[in-house]
Amino acid sequence: MQLIDAFSKVLPVILLFALGAFFRRTHFLAEHTIQDIKRLVVNVTLPAVLFLAFSSVTLEPQHLLVVAIVLLACSAVLFAGRFLHPLAGTRSPYLPPLLTGFEAGMMGYAIFSAVYGAENVFRFAVVDLGQVIFVFFVLVPFVQRQHSGASSFGATVRSFFKTPVIVSIFGDPLQPAG
């Protein structure tokens, strides 16, 4: 019964994915329109959802443990990815980083909130926070080093705290508290 209930909640999201695939195949939307929609989601709607989700929640020590576990798990997969080249049949330096990310922003939040309700979105966001920290402090510097050389730690930190998702979770770090 729970499986049917969960499927009925996820089915509209799956149908939206199918509609998106149809739009892509038929070129219903121009590529620049798709990019604009993605920018709207990442910079406005997702941060708004996270701001509302975290405005009524206090981060607790066990949340930070989850963040740390996800950060370590992503790091372990990045490390393990270096040894998977023979199985994948490629020597691309981008294989390990491709294994570490998951698409929480465009798909994960929609599916999670459809199944568990908007009132529980902060739980998914806690898991995503570990992955976001991984992306900014491990993955992006790793890929930059592969492609164009290392960037400064200060630039990485500034970029992290300017990200709409982080600002929405912690508030604007440039504003005084209270």
| Per-position DSSP letters for 33-77, written without gaps between them | HHHHHHHHIIIIIHHHHHHHHHHT----HHHHHHHHHHHHHHHHH
Give domain status of residue 25, yes or no. yes
What is the model's pTM? 0.70
Give domain status of residue 154, yes or no. yes
Give domain status of residue 116, yes or no. yes
Give domain status of residue 142, yes or no. yes
Q: What is the mean pLDDT of the chain?
A: 81
How many domains is the chain partitioned into structurally?
1
Give domain status of residue 175, yes or no. no
pLDDT tens sequence across 119-145: 888 888 888 888 888 888 888 888 877
Residue-number span of the structural domain to which 127 is assigned: 2-170
| Amino acid 172: pLDDT | 43
177 sits in the region (left: phi over 0; alpha: psi -120 to 50; else beta) called beta
Give domain status of residue 44, yes or no. yes
Q: What angle do CA 104, 108, 112 make, to 5 degrees?
A: 140
Give domain status of residue 178, yes or no. no
Give domain status of residue 137, yes or no. yes
- Give the residue with greater pLDDT, 50 vs 75: 75
Q: Give φ, ψ of 54 to 5 degrees.
A: -85, -15
| Amino acid 149: pLDDT | 67
| Amino acid 176: pLDDT | 42
pLDDT tens sequence across 26-64: 999 888 888 898 888 878 888 887 787 777 677 788 889
